[in-house]
Chains A and B, each alone.
Chain A
Amino acid sequence: MDVKDIIKPENLVYEKPGMLTANTMHYCPGCSHGVVHKLIAEIIEDLGIQEKTIGVAPVGCSVFAYNYIDIDWQEAAHGRAPALATGISRTNPDKIVFTYQGDGDLASIGTAEIMHACNRGENFAVIFINNGIYGMTGGQMAPTTLLGQVTATTPYGRDAERNGYPLKITELIAQLPGTSYVTRQSVHTPAAIRRCKKAITKAFEAAMDKKGTSFVEVVSTCNMNWKMTPVQANQWMEENMFPFYPPGDIKDGSKADPASFKQN
């Protein structure tokens, strides 16, 4: 059978989701952002919520997310996406709101905003891309950079005495009473991407059902700033990031019952 006989519309099994625009992404070759954008586009299409979804984009590489996913977007100041999402979700309770943030945005300058939004149990989903480095500005050390990892500002590797310890922000957020679903995923293999899609779907459904904040960390690569090929970066992530940031659900339930907080 010739290839030309297979390539027919009736045999189609996978194509670009209609929610993704025709713009070429500005991300570097092999960047995990593209995969997560595609998953979000597929999920919004599957749930049929294009008209009522509002995304809040951060400062970072994904600042141009509004160019690629065909929904309504708001651009937040650096780290303030959860504060903006709080306002949008409270004033538009019929909309589904999500933030899309990187580790320099969420775990560094925006730590206060994400902590308090999750503590209040605001009804939105958070997609957190953790690649352990500041990608957009040229590969400086982020709070999530691993000990010993070489970056532009830690040329001899991150040292705990000098630079402090890596921040496991997802574990911190899982302890907050306002969160209903906290998970850590990755997008380096087809199986991991399918699991990640299920997790993000669950997070969006939690936001639709007003269950409290749902938080999905995606352990990602930044091959350009790690100075590796995309394939090497995925291997490096498996060998070095996963022991410290193990994938899996951290919290899967509902937000805390106010009755359990009664003071005598």
Chain B
Amino acid sequence: MATQSARKPWGKTIIFGILSAALYAGVFAFADTIAAHFAQGSYWAAGPIATVFLFSYVHGEFTGNLWSVLGIEATRKPARKTETVGKPATVRPAARRATLNA
């Protein structure tokens, strides 16, 4: 139990949490202006697409680490055995335990 809590990604959670909060604060401080620019369409289309990619990385890292810090992590699952017909392509792999914190 002690080793489990020692492995909890507190540092990453705090860093990405601050970054995520800063990004949200930055965008919403100028929300109307940014939304108006992005609504011009054409080449401005890159704006919302790039923004959501950036947020999905930063906020996604934060949320993933947050669940780990809260002790909610994936568990091991056994592989499902199924019938195969004709040329069996491959053996269905086992679902692996997550080892990263995202």
> Is this pair of chains taken from one and the same complex?
no
